Amino acid sequence: MPEHDLKTVLITGASGGFGLEFAKKLELLGYSLILHGRDMARLQMTMGALKHPERHCIIQADLNAKHGLISLLDAIKEEKLTGLINNAGFGIWGGFEQTGIVPQIDVIKTDLKAPIALAHALLPELIKNNGFIINVSSLAGEYPLPYMSTYAAAKAGLTYWSEALRTELDGKVRIVTLAPGPSPTGFRIISGMPNSKGSFFRTPIPVIIDACLNTLHNGGGYCIPGWRHKLLYAMQKVIPRCIGLRIMAKQMRS
Ligand SMILES: NC(=O)c1ccc[n+]([C@@H]2O[C@H](COP(=O)([O-])OP(=O)(O)OC[C@H]3O[C@@H](n4cnc5c(N)ncnc54)[C@H](OP(=O)(O)O)[C@@H]3O)[C@@H](O)[C@H]2O)c1
């Protein structure tokens, strides 16, 4: 690990998408970063996009592997962490009965179990350092999602857990629950969703990360970034579920 006096933040899933943008923005704010992911080549690309690579380090760990979480925690046990960004995550697109159970359970492990376990292990240090946690959830956590049912269940769990924790730890550690909608990252391809022209609600990555860090700066909170995602959230709340579910099923099938 590099020697420095900077405050340190662990970003899980730093090999692209939101994680890369978090890394770029947090470096500008003067943090030292622990970049976590699985794909070393992509993690090195994130490192290459940073201005001061000597301040940061990379840790590889598969959060679905038997010892993945333990090896990540072990690698950072000497670190004085100020921030934890639970960003790593993925979804599986497809009919539930046609999709194997192993990848479905892996979604729960990476998107829900890992954030809870990491926060629990790192909380004493984060509280001591007057730190923060950002939990990257999703608007999928606000609405059941046919053809991505397990992903929505994991994100609903993450949102509820994160919001309860935020209230419980008020004044001890700042927490942001980030709930974006569709965004142009690798997520869609990795989840196996069919190609599409792109949703009207798709919002640029920098808009999402700026909104999140702004919420953090203001003491934490529930963050729905950008007007398009706010509009989608409002629709989730006002359209009767029996109609909304049919619309979602049609959209997700195609
Ligand atoms: N893009 C969207 O539309 C959208 C909307 C709402 C919420 N989100 C959430 O945003 C977060 C970031 O995703 P993204 O959109 O930026 O997608 P992405 O570009 O695919 O990034 C996902 C990151 O998670 C890591 N990851 C996935 N499975 C992992 C595992 N088993 N162990 C360790 N790391 C793992 C990946 O690491 P490797 O590449 O090294 O495997 C990658 O760095 C996720 O939690 C996602 O659910 C995305």
**DSSP letters of 10-26?**
EESS-SSHHHHHHHHHH
Confidence of residue 251 (pLDDT cuts 50, 70, 90): confident
Q: Is 15 in the pocket of ligand 1 (CB under 6 A)?
A: yes
Task: Write the CA distances from 115 to 123, 202, 241, integer angstroms.
Answer: 12, 25, 29
In a domain, 125, yes or no: yes
| Count: domains in the chain | 1
Lowest mean pLDDT among 172-176, 180-184, 188-192: 188-192
In a domain, 1, yes or no: no
In a domain, 27, yes or no: yes
Residue type, 146: P
In a domain, 152, yes or no: yes
In a domain, 61, yes or no: yes
Q: What percent of the chain has pLDDT over 90?
A: 93
- The domain that holds 199 is classified in CATH as 3.40.50.720
- Distance, CA 23 to ligand 1 centroid (Å)? 14
Section 70-82 average pLDDT: 96
Q: DSSP per residue over 131-196, as a string? A: -EEEEE--GGGGS--TTSHHHHHHHHHHHHHHHHHHHHTTTTSEEEEE---S-SSSHHHHHTPPP-
Nearest CA to ligand 1 atom 45: 89
Reply yes or no on whether the pLDDT at 194 is more than 90: no
Section 101-125 average pLDDT: 98
- Distance, CA 13 to ligand 1 centroid (Å)? 6
Reply yes or no on whether the pLDDT at 196 is more than 90: no
Structural domain boundaries enclosing 59: 8-253
Confidence of residue 2 (pLDDT cuts 50, 70, 90): low
Q: Is 89 in the pocket of ligand 1 (CB under 6 A)?
A: yes
Reply yes or no on whether the pLDDT at 1 is more than 70: no
In a domain, 3, yes or no: no
Q: Is 90 helix (H, G, I), strand (E, B) or coil?
A: coil
In a domain, 42, yes or no: yes
